[in-house]
Amino acid sequence: MTKTPYVAGAALIQAALLSACDAQRDEALPVTNVATPAPTAAAALPVSGPKRTVLAFGDSLYAGYGLKRGESLPDAVQARLRGQGIDATVVNAGVSGDTTAGGRRRLAYTLDRLKTPPDLVLLGLGGNDVLRQVDPAETRANMAAMLEELARRGIPVILTGMMAPPNLGPDFAYRFNRIWPDLAREHDAVLDPFILQAVIGNRQLMLPDGVHPNAVGVGRMADRVAPLVARQLAILPAA
């Protein structure tokens, strides 16, 4: 997501997402507590094993909106993987302000530009669809099309989900919030139900807009996401 003049507004979205978080957690696919301490230099393992490429394809929550170079979520995930000795490069393909429609348009082009196909894709879009109040049916169709493109190329996926604020109405919130758990089941994708779950509502972990994480918040998010990535990389066939 990124700051926009669209209805709802950042502060309202932040408060509404926080209030909806617990309800969505019960509906989503089960995700164990994956938070782990960030590896320190002293504890880091030597990097070894097959070289892996992870494509982080999403919006400003991946791009690192408002952060310094090297502080984005893909950077933080890569640091944690390498701290565990995993030879993984996480390519940041986050675009601030991107919608699922924008992601659908650029996915194939992004994949084709890579020197080699990624071993895994982190797919995280949908926040800007909420800000624009895009029909959830359109969001679902766009997400499904991206998953179908990745399946066609034989690339496994981790979905990082988004939620709609309840002030948009129960019908909109229900239809939107079901997109990620439904598609994860249909496409055999790993799911983190709500990418902001570890940070939303905590001012110490967020930028002043209340929607985007600061560098410390990104670290909390990476503590949650990196173990999912490590687990999926571990079960990939040998390179």
45 or 83, which is more confident: 83
CA distance 140 to 31: 21
* 3-class SS of residue 111: helix
Q: Which residues are CB-neighbours of 112 under 8 A, at least 6 positions away?
A: none
Average pLDDT over every residue of 67-74: 98
Percent of the chain with pLDDT over 90: 77
Average pLDDT over every residue of 165-177: 95
The pLDDT assigned to 3 comes to 40
The dihedral through the CA atoms of 213, 218, 222, 223 has a sign that is negative
**pLDDT band of 219, cuts 50, 70, 90:** very high
Choose, from 59, 192, 212, 223, the residue flagged as catalytic.
212
The pLDDT assigned to 28 comes to 33
Q: Has 212 been annotated as catalytic?
A: yes
- pLDDT of 42 over the 60 cut: no
Average pLDDT over every residue of 183-192: 98
**pLDDT band of 166, cuts 50, 70, 90:** confident
Choose, from 60, 98, 129, 223, the residue flagged as catalytic.
60
Q: Has 187 been annotated as catalytic?
A: no
**pLDDT band of 52, cuts 50, 70, 90:** very high
**pLDDT band of 215, cuts 50, 70, 90:** very high
| Tens-digit pLDDT profile for residues 11-34 | 444 444 444 343 333 333 333 333
- pLDDT of 189 over the 70 cut: yes
- In the predicted model, what is the mean pLDDT of the chain? 86
Domains, the chain, ranges and CATH? 10-29+53-234 (3.40.50.1110)
DSSP annotation of 166: G
Q: Has 19 been annotated as catalytic?
A: no
Using CA atoms, how far residue 223 sits from 32, 160, 168, in Å, is 12, 14, 31
Choose, from 19, 87, 182, 209, the residue flagged as catalytic.
209
The pLDDT assigned to 19 comes to 40
- 19: phi then psi, degrees, rounded to nearest 5: -70, -25
pTM over 0.75: yes
The pLDDT assigned to 1 comes to 57
